[in-house]
Amino acid sequence: MSDFFKYMLATICGIVVLTIIGILLLTFSFVGIMASGETKVRAMDNSVFVLQLSGIVEERTEDNPLSMLLNEAEMQQMGLDDILSAIEKARNEENIKGIYIEGGNVTFDSPATAQQIHDALLDFRKSGKWVYAYADQLMQASYYVCSAADSLFLNATGMIDFKGLGGKHEYMTGLYEKIGVRYMTARVGKYKSYVESVTRKDMSDEDREQREAYLKGIWNKWTEQMARNRKVTAQQLDQLANDSIMLFATTDDYQQAHLVDRVFYPEQMKQVMYRKLGVDPDEPICQLTLDDMKNLRPEKKIKKKGDEIAVYYAYGEIVDEMMDPFYMGHNIVGKETTKDLLKLADDDNVKAVVLRVNSGGGSAIASEQIWHATQLLKQKKPVVVSMGGAAASGGYMISCGANYIVAEPTTITGSIGIFGLIPNFNELVTDKLGITWDGVSTNKYTDYETNLIFSKENSEELHYMQGYVDRGYERFINIVAKGRGMTKEQVNEIAQGRVWLAPDAQGIKLVDKLGSLNDAIAKAAELAGLTEYHTNSYPIKTDWIEQLLSGEQRLPSYLDAKLKMMLGNLYEPVLEMRLDQMRNRLQARLPYTITIQ
């Protein structure tokens, strides 16, 4: 018995000690995170900005304390805004001599995201500074970005994924037929193909037409730029993709095709860097990471001059309100965004607003509320839209009322259409499981939702649903016509849910100019009559301490990154199956999500 108490006491003491150690480690970790977030960084002489292209690159990110605690570097989510800001800082900081890109397994949220980093690197080189890139392997989008380097190096056993753009799209109709579920749709726009994944077993001619158009447009843009960077022709690169160089090539073949300059093992690459900087191999090189660049303190403090131009970031799916605490990804919440825009309207310090849109749309109701807020904002100061990866469907609705629209060359836009999607479980619930329905009601259509979802005969309810969608489309057409100075007939001709690449959208008056966020800011300054100005970004980012104190859930974004990396191409269809049950019935959404590696 004495041994029992002895062991029990020892166990309790062990648990107490481990708990105390755990609390201390957690405390030190948080203190370390806080200290690293507050520490200002100075660039020493012969510094290099090391851009690690690994993880997920999205429009904008905030600090995620959970991933920082778990040291999940490979799962990092990088903000496009942070990367572009870091490249600009590296350009202006005298002690930073160049940029070294470490290519890795990276996913960009859109072709335009990769294009903007590529273009920023080319602009950086105009300063006279250099860009070197090295990788063990390069997926197609990361190769495109790295092609902007002065010199591009590959591991001696490395690989380049170079095969063109495209891919298969999943159609779930056959699965639903097997389990007794059918999706009923009400849509306007022959190109509004989102519903086809659950109503067809193959691609419609209209969907194939629009996909081919924008993919060829992006590929032609990329091959043109890569050819210029690598001093070959676009036709040569296109032929390499047709020859399946990824499957059959050796590293010598990559060199002979001028895809890379040299092939090195990592230790040989280090020697190249030492020679480039002119330093002794025994001396350490001051390497600045993306996080370092966020906290970089310039030698000369730059004061903000002139009036303020607000840059408001609206990215992600447009929703009426946050779906649930564990929704994956960022949202444009209708009510919150409307309040933010009206605050900017009333802020006398803000002289113009640039609305940075990267969204494939979502709730038609929330989209219209945001559009209405832009109209009230525009009555007080100029509003210019800068389109990122996508500004389509509801994303186009919130954009079209601006004074001026600037789109990236590879922006996906348009998709002016509306749809409603209703799952019907009659065959599953009644025919297979034997559940039947009966009841009483005071009016004819009291149970219309139950009839739509569970009844075999619901043609009358579906007819009225189609009328609801038709009215939504008519409203959408009127909004675009008013914003773009066109007739309803002109808009209807180019609408129909059709997706357009930005250069094509410019030709049909959906976009005013092809350019960057900086171009949009310059236009806003011009419209506001400003000669001196500075920018501030909204909504203001919250650091991890504020997130913790406010009770914000940061776990979802961490899990989102994990799921994206684990599921790969299956991530989108799995997520869509869940979200379709949570969305507003009336949707103005892009037919698909474009994610490239």
List active site positions.
192, 393
Q: Which residues pair with 352 in a beta bridge?
A: 309
The closest alpha carbon to 350, from 315, 386, 306, belongs to 306
Long-range contacts of 155-161 (CB under 8 A, 24+ apart): 155/251, 155/263, 155/264, 155/265, 155/266, 156/251, 156/263, 156/264, 156/265, 157/251, 158/251, 158/254, 158/263, 159/246, 160/245, 160/246, 160/249, 160/254, 160/259, 160/260, 161/137, 161/246, 161/597
Contact 172, 179 (CB under 8 A): no
Structural tokens at position 153: 């190096």
Residue with tokens 């869509």: 576
Identify the DSSP state of 569. Answer: G
The closest alpha carbon to 253, from 373, 159, 143, belongs to 159
Distance CA 335, CA 354 (A): 19
Residue with tokens 């406010």: 550
Residue with tokens 């273009």: 119
Distance CA 433, CA 431 (A): 6
The closest alpha carbon to 36, from 294, 234, 375, belongs to 294
Contact 315, 411 (CB under 8 A): no
- What is residue 326's three-state secondary structure? coil
Sign, Cα dihedral of 556, 561, 562, 568: positive
- What is residue 23's three-state secondary structure? helix
Instruction: Please name the amino acid found at residue 14.
Output: G
Pure H helices in 398-439: 426
